[in-house]
Amino acid sequence: MQKQPKFAYSTLRLMGAMTVVLLAILLLGCGDEDGDYDRASNDYDIDDDVVLALTFSPDPPRVGDVELSMELIVDGEPIEGAGFDIEPWMPSHGHGSSTEPEVFDVGDGTYTVDELTFSMAGHWELRIDMDYGDGNRELVVDLEVEG
Ligand SMILES: [Cu+2]
C-alpha cells in the first residue's frame, strides 16, 4: 500500500520507454518551446514533470504512412483522457499533410495516432495541441522524415 516515490516511478517508466525512441518535450506553455528529437542519443528534456514520449514506426519516420504511439506522464502518473490535436507541417514549403491525424486514447496514458502521413522527405514539424485537464500545451516537435 506504500506509494512509490514519484522519482522512482517516473524513472522506471522512462527506462522502459528508452528501448524505443523516446521524446520528452519541454513544456513551457508558450507554444514556442520545442522538444529535441535526437535519435542518436535518445536524449530527452523534462520540465515540471510533464513528459510526452513519442514512438514512431517506422523509426525514423519515412515518407508515407507512419504509426505513432504517445505516452503522457505528468508527475510520474500516466494521464488518461487527454485531448490531442495533431497537425503535420512542412515549414520550408508551407504545406501540411493530405490526411488528418486521428488520436485514440487506448488507456494507461497511451494514445495511438492514425492517419499520420508525410508526403515528402525533409524537415517536418508535428504541431501538437494537448489538453490534459490541468493544462493546455502547444508543442512543436521537429522531425527529419526520410525518403
Ligand atoms: Cu514539402
Three-class SS state of 11:
helix
Q: Which residues surround ligand 1, an ion (CB under 5 A)?
A: 90, 93, 120
80 contacts: CB under 8 Å, gap ≥ 6: 105, 107, 108, 109
pLDDT in tens, 82-128: 999 999 999 999 999 999 999 999 999 999 999 999 999 999 999 99
Going from the Cα of 124 to the center of ligand 1, the distance in angstroms, rounded, reads 8
Going from the Cα of 91 to the center of ligand 1, the distance in angstroms, rounded, reads 8
C-alpha cell at 107: 488507456
The per-residue pLDDT of the chain, averaged, comes to 76
Please state, in angstroms and as integers, the Cα–Cα distance from residue 107 to each residue in 7, 49, 73, following that order: 22, 20, 12
pLDDT of residue 140: 85
Domain locations along the chain: 6-145
Quickly name the fold that domain 6-145 has: Immunoglobulin-like (2.60.40)
CA 46 to chain centroid: 13
pLDDT of residue 95: 98
Going from the Cα of 125 to the center of ligand 1, the distance in angstroms, rounded, reads 11
